[in-house]
Structure 1
């Protein structure tokens, strides 16, 4: 039987290549080869990576736990996946909140400017309690695996429904086993990692033994840190299967089958053989070809490409750690047929991080007192400008989960498939125990930002393009009643408004049209149509911009616990008080820039109709005081002809006629409109080139309200409610900077004291200030930040608030 590809999907990144220094250390011959000639593997990988940059998103959420009805605030950071530098490829991030069944309960588009953005969700009061996944991605990221999207878990408590809720503690545990490299092969010594977790997904202490079919103990093991560990194991020859018996700390036992054992194949082992080097060992059964290939890669960068000649089924080489990028590296073993057969991960902590220094002006505060925090960033001692976000929220028995730092995410958790418990440990701990824990983590996790099948196959066009100038609305054109795409048909998109904005697009080979909407914010009514004189058989369907692909779920068990009944009741009371007294403060939005210029620029003629004699028939209006438009009546009704003043001629076809920015192709309908509803008329008196269309002039009518005034649209016009990027909701917190404010009787029971997504540091320290509320207790201050050179960091500290005397 041929060996299977590793249990974990394989992954990497792009860019420059660097051959590692290799040392022969065993019965093998390691031959380096040009990066574009290793059986074509490396060349195909580099070709795949050169097709476009890889993006990553990180979201700093204001806290890990919410009540239904509260506002979730977040800051988005966009970086390149190799060096984590800010990447301005995309101007829109798609953010979703998914329930346990991976159904979106909230969706939003967030504008990105200079690789950052901010947004918020008001969690519905009816949202059931549970653990939810917040995920984020860009249009470009949809071309790749959904595993590469940003994911984090938040908890939502529906305080109104928590009364009387309870859940029984359970000692149920899960045990999983991971052969090093991916496979167990008969007769070949392997290292088998394991992970034991409790019902909440946390690592659990345990010990165990491995039994063969006869019940003989062939291996024993014991957990190290966070329920993980490993043991050496050599599957015996013959059709034997193996079962692990795990005994938990409370003496409960769990039985689990070890992965299947293959008769033939390869085993890849990695050992930390010194402060500056790693040792890779390949073992193979006697029937396998002696030539294999090893490829090392770290987040889009090739680090190792070598041909390894096995001697008596074994090969070994030494790799310098200094040649690897910080974070997670992948070592992939290919057989002679260029098939990936094993993969091993290695983690190298970053020697540098963005140092965020934040100091409050006092150690302790009273209620309704001003807090001043000095913030600076360095690398490692020199001041370094960075973009930061900051949250201050109350700690209680319900909010015990520490937020993941941006540096931890970019260099560790984003490169792994499953949840990582306490990622901070792998960046701060030192010594043999920390090295062993990191290695166990690499053995029990793994995935990649692509699949090797896609890399080795012939290139395919990307299905999704970047959005550098705002959201892109896509629609599918088909022949009515069929799925046959309609190509080369000009389609128009407009949103009724007193501001005249129109765009057009031509259907591609698949009948897809794309419209760049620019900085369109908030909900809008958009209208899509084609010119029925050119094609009256087109059916238009707007495509959902949100990704329909989902990563493999990592369910986090959730249950309300009777021990926290008092906390649920207290949170419910606080939420009710804040809802009643917050008023409209939670719905304050920042002013948005408005582009009042029409898409055609300054018109050649403008008529404010209230300045002229008002007629009851539009034909009279045009004939009396609009000399740039000639009215003609033919067999099929009215025609409008624009006078081309530059060429001193009359254009013989109808111009583009607009009503509040919406095209009107039936001139008889527009001529039947009551002119008393029209405020303004603009005329462009020459041919106008607009995208892929050419207009014989433009005649644009604008009503007083900009809402079409009940004009009867053609039934073929598709009218859709479309959400642009989120409007910028402003975070509101009361300021007690006057005696009157200090003595206000309005209760202040906020659990989130402060949220600021836009803190820019420079050579000098930045000062931020806010006020405590009416709740004494401990408050966690969390800062996340990213510098232009790719250094990222996080920092947190606790504030103590005592009751006022």
Structure 2
């Protein structure tokens, strides 16, 4: 009996094994931080929730913030463990999309990940309308959680084919104001801190001031923004039925009115204050609480419990005092539970990380001329010799159209990825010091909100996750339904193949929802896939391919489109540059890296191989098999031809038809394969004996391969589903000319590149620096060098500086 060497069916070794391994590591870390059963099991519930669902984060380093339609968008993907920010190899596929302002995907692609990183590119269509677009990225595993936790980045696309280069500018005359009581609720008779954010329709904070009015018109509080449209004020809702409204002044003749959240009659209010250089005090005030009630405070950071403690209410108040050092780096989630273990108040706190990847980068000259060689030395300051870091670097031209700063990977992993919405200028919260910076940081944490999970999910009974990780390549999912209905068909063996000279067949059985999951051995680029069931088991089911991209979208304002008519000359200049580059360097756009292809078929080395050109050619397939394929016996019965494989190990003839493949596609009608012209067949392979392949068992295997691997016009069964499908994208090579010879430097071909350099794969070890070389083009100006990187120990860092390029004399 012959056994396949392919891995076990999906779910037994792939996702399940990885999740169990991660869960074990997280359990050890969680138990070290706090007792597993502290706070009457609350800590244990949180830890078990996080162990079941490891937190995965993606960060994309995009080559620049502004593109022309028709240009190539390059990106590097960093996959990190949400707990310690270390590179995470949970997923082997990332899904990257470009969305318009209405959440419609205009581009979608899959990118291969290896050891927690990957790289890719997208060519922006020349017909793409000008505007602001969102680049988002996620993995299959991340689809189990809120889409707010996906990576999001806004980019600007300019369509220079239009007269102005842009469509009509979005109106920025509408504003919104939101109010956020600290802890979550206003309670009558209890003094609360109320944070607020005032922003335009694109989510950008605006300066404003205002006042809070009671229903009788009395002013009960005043407020003013501090930074980025945010601020806070103190306020005590009166007992009774009074309601409150805020009137906001944004400038001359600009005002708006918004209601405050309705106060509750009873409840809890929390307040977090600095009470020392390294001390925080969280004060809780309650109405109507039992005098003997004991409250619990739980603080966790990035899936690690940092603080778990209790305090009794005394006279309606309780105070929790603890050192700031008790909280971990990054965003902490502080939740207050009542005596019934129900969450009643919560808020966020940010502690700037103490350990970052300090990148050093410097150019070899203070100034350059056009077509000049640039050498940039890149290294890590004070990096432990044993730790390695993976970096990416982009160099692009600064002009009036390029205004947005590139976000740093360290800012993302430690702050913005844990918050909802867009954080304006995250650098400020890492670098600014003093009382104003502390107050502005507090305002941010009070208004942005938590994006990871809801306590209802933690406290509820565990539910199976809908989406599994993809640790060994993209998973192709399909659904088996009863024909003409939406009724799922469980237990149906289904086959996935893609015609090729390299035979790779996948097989799976449908689950209770009719879902089948295939894990092809190799699946790159666009190709034709063929899905079918075994007609001996099922002849009526209908197959549909499941969309692998997420159809849920984050909430938030539309991205701002910051292009104005005054930049018309800049559009014209960019248009000219793009046309020149397309004319003289367009042939280099679609150069792809050489891929290593595993030419071994899914069944490994066959027992018998026949290259038919080495034998006497026959015009009938029956003669071919009878004359020189002793491992296959041809029989003719009432229903036509049958093939029987000789089990040489057991010295017996198997009584049923083997699995017959043509270019990797199963063919269940033996009469049709016997009618095929053998002159179209290049190779014939046979597996003697029974063959176990996932849930299927074959009575031997006979594989026919044509010269082109494209089925040679073979007529497929009408029930077969044939569909174009995108695998992981092929890796496009970045091209930049080199002027390292006198002839090259004197070339008359114009070089008007805005992106001088893109390198997504820079590896550092210890303190050893690397030197990266590239050449300037024909455009003088200022160029921004941007570095992003992540070390194996979880330290992230970014670095940028400017190159000056002057015209050659």
Judge same fold: TM > 0.5, yes or no: yes
Distance 2:288 2:561 in 1: 50
Show the 5 A alignment for 1:565-576: 565-576=568-579
Distance 1:168 1:456 in 2: 43
Counterpart check, 1:157 vs 2:158: yes
Secondary structure of residue in 2 paired with 1:581? helix
2:789 alignment partner in structure 1: 785
Counterpart check, 1:739 vs 2:742: yes
**Conserved? CA contact 1:242–1:257, under 8 Å:** yes
Where structure 1 has 5 or more consecutive residues not aligned to the other structure, the ranges are: 1-12, 21-32
**Conserved? CA contact 1:137–1:149, under 8 Å:** yes
1:225 alignment partner in structure 2: 227
User: 1:162 deviation in Å?
Assistant: 5.1
Residue by residue, what CA displacement relative to the aligned partner does 1:209-240 show, whole Å, maximum 9, x if unpaired?
22212222211122222222111111112221
1:58 alignment partner in structure 2: 59
2:362 alignment partner in structure 1: 359
Deviating above 6 A after TM superposition, structure 1's stretches of 4 or more consecutive aligned residues are: none
Query: Which shifted more, 530-539 or 243-252?
Result: 243-252
Secondary structure of residue in 2 paired with 1:256? strand
**Conserved? CA contact 1:19–1:304, under 8 Å:** no
2:768 alignment partner in structure 1: 764
Show the 5 A alignment for 1:679-718: 679-718=682-721
Query: Which shifted more, 257-266 or 710-719?
Result: 257-266
User: 1:598 deviation in Å?
Assistant: 1.3
Secondary structure of residue in 1 paired with 2:161? helix
Q: Classify 1:710/1:381 alpha carbon distance in 2 versus 1 (closer, same or farther; 3 Å).
A: closer
Distance 1:383 1:355 in 2: 16
**Conserved? CA contact 1:64–1:399, under 8 Å:** yes
Q: Classify 1:695/1:200 alpha carbon distance in 2 versus 1 (closer, same or farther; 3 Å).
A: closer
Q: Classify 1:355/1:185 alpha carbon distance in 2 versus 1 (closer, same or farther; 3 Å).
A: same
**Conserved? CA contact 2:396–2:783, under 8 Å:** yes
User: 1:384 deviation in Å?
Assistant: 4.6
Q: Classify 1:480/1:780 alpha carbon distance in 2 versus 1 (closer, same or farther; 3 Å).
A: same
Secondary structure of residue in 2 paired with 1:442? helix
The count of aligned residue pairs is 781
**Conserved? CA contact 2:149–2:417, under 8 Å:** yes
**Conserved? CA contact 1:502–1:599, under 8 Å:** yes
2:19 alignment partner in structure 1: none
Residue by residue, what CA displacement relative to the aligned partner does 1:744-796 show, whole Å, maximum 9, x if unpaired?
12111111111000000123110101111111111100000000000000000
Show the 5 A alignment for 1:138-153: 138-153=139-154
1:130 alignment partner in structure 2: 131
User: 1:735 deviation in Å?
Assistant: 0.8
Residue by residue, what CA displacement relative to the aligned partner does 1:78-135 show, whole Å, maximum 9, x if unpaired?
1111110111111011111111111111111110001000011101111111111111
Distance 2:337 2:717 in 1: 61
Q: Classify 1:532/1:778 alpha carbon distance in 2 versus 1 (closer, same or farther; 3 Å).
A: same
- Under a length normalisation based on structure 1, what TM-score does the superposition of the two structures give? 0.94
Which of 493, 497, 504 is the equivalent residue of 1:494? Answer: 497
Distance 1:235 1:288 in 2: 22
Distance 2:704 2:169 in 1: 64
Distance 2:248 2:741 in 1: 63
Secondary structure of residue in 2 paired with 1:184? coil
Distance 1:729 1:205 in 2: 45
User: 1:646 deviation in Å?
Assistant: 2.3
**Conserved? CA contact 2:289–2:316, under 8 Å:** no
1:309 alignment partner in structure 2: 312
1:506 alignment partner in structure 2: 509
2:268 alignment partner in structure 1: 266
Distance 1:266 1:93 in 2: 43
User: 1:256 deviation in Å?
Assistant: 2.1
Q: Classify 1:605/1:109 alpha carbon distance in 2 versus 1 (closer, same or farther; 3 Å).
A: same
Residue by residue, what CA displacement relative to the aligned partner does 1:373-412 show, whole Å, maximum 9, x if unpaired?
0000134687852100000111111111111100000000
Counterpart check, 1:671 vs 2:674: yes
Distance 1:701 1:516 in 2: 23
User: 1:169 deviation in Å?
Assistant: 7.8
Distance 1:115 1:676 in 2: 47
Secondary structure of residue in 2 paired with 1:74? strand
**Conserved? CA contact 1:35–1:305, under 8 Å:** no
- Under a length normalisation based on structure 2, what TM-score does the superposition of the two structures give? 0.94
Counterpart check, 1:180 vs 2:182: yes
Distance 2:457 2:188 in 1: 31
Show the 5 A alignment for 1:360-399: 360-379=363-382, 384-399=387-402
User: 1:17 deviation in Å?
Assistant: 4.2
User: 1:37 deviation in Å?
Assistant: 4.8
**Conserved? CA contact 2:209–2:223, under 8 Å:** yes
Show the 5 A alignment for 1:617-696: 617-696=620-699
Show the 5 A alignment for 1:186-335: 186-198=188-200, 200-250=202-252, 252-286=254-288, 290-335=293-338
Which of 420, 435, 439 is the equivalent residue of 2:438? Answer: 435
User: 1:39 deviation in Å?
Assistant: 4.0
Distance 1:380 1:646 in 2: 59
Counterpart check, 1:98 vs 2:99: yes
